């Protein structure tokens, strides 16, 4: 009867130990799942932030390209207008020369044609530097816009590289911390299991000593009864 109670108590203690270990392992796994969810959420937030920055940069690049195209179109319109004005001046000059040749016999018409030719030549000589200056200014504006666009792209690429490096370092540091925490929790779990096993062995030794003491006590009682 005593041996059956001892076996029952040992089995009950083992059941309690198994239940405790199961609960501990369950909590540990839930913590691991929670950490994994936090890492996934953090990666998702970082990805959304990168996509948002990329959309903003793409919008800025589109605005820069639209500005360059609008300036190029304006420059083209100005150049065409200047060429049209120059062609009109050349046409008038040609007409004046023809009239000079056709009316060379009349001194009055000759003087008028000469004056008209001189005025057209003067207008042409004044319009050509203005046209050249306008073309140079437009070319310089286009080059400045192109340089600014290239500089913005270079700065954007440098910012992307810096952000990616920072995110990579932060992710690596977070993963390393998470790995260290997991290893530390695993070591703590193993130490707790070892302590629990040691307590179980100590209880078994205590039970064995108690059984030995009871056995010796029964033997003394039996010897006493036999002696009587």
Higher pLDDT, 13 or 123: 13
pLDDT of 49 over the 80 cut: yes
Domain boundaries defined on the chain: 2-227
Higher pLDDT, 151 or 23: 23
pLDDT of 114 over the 50 cut: yes
The chain-wide mean pLDDT, for the chain, equals 71
- The predicted pLDDT at position 1 comes to 41
For residue 71, what are the contacts with CB-CB under 8 A and spacing of at least 6? 138, 141, 142, 145
Over residues 157-199, the pLDDT tens digits come to 777 677 777 777 877 887 788 778 878 888 888 888 888 888 8
- The predicted pLDDT at position 153 comes to 66
> What b/e readout covers 43-62, taking b as 16+ CB neighbours within 10 angstroms?
eeeeeeeeeeeeeebeeeee
Over residues 13-27, the pLDDT tens digits come to 667 777 777 787 788
Tokens representing 143 are 């080059």
User: How many beta carbons lie within 10 A of that of residue 113, not counting itself?
Assistant: 21
| Whole-angstrom distance, CA of residue 142 vs CA of residue 67 | 10
Tokens representing 134 are 């306008």
pLDDT of 96 over the 60 cut: no
Total-model pTM: 0.34
pLDDT of 81 over the 50 cut: yes
């Amino acid at each position: 009867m005593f041996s059956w109670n001892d076996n029952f108590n040992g089995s009950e203690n083992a059941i309690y130990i198994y239940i405790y270990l199961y609960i501990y392992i369950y909590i540990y796994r839930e913590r691991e799942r929670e950490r994994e969810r936090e890492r996934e959420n953090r990666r998702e937030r970082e990805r959304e932030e990168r996509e948002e920055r990329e959309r903003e940069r793409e919008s800025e690049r589109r605005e820069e390209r639209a500005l360059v195209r609008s300036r190029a179109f304006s420059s083209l319109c100005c150049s065409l207008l200047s060429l049209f004005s120059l062609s009109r001046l050349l046409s008038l000059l040609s007409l004046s020369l023809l009239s000079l040749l056709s009316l060379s016999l009349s001194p009055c018409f000759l003087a008028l044609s000469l004056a008209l030719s001189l005025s057209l030549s003067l207008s042409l000589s004044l319009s050509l530097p203005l046209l050249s200056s306008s073309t140079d200014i437009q070319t310089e504006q286009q080059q400045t816009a192109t340089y600014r666009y290239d500089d913005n792209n270079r700065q954007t690429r440098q910012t992307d590289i810096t952000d990616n490096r920072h995110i990579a370092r932060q992710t690596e540091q977070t993963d390393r911390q998470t790995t260290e925490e997991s290893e530390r929790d695993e070591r703590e779990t193993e130490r707790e299991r070892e302590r629990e096993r040691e307590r179980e062995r100590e209880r078994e030794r205590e039970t064995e000593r108690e059984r030995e003491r009871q056995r010796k006590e029964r033997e003394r009682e039996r010897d006493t009864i036999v002696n009587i």
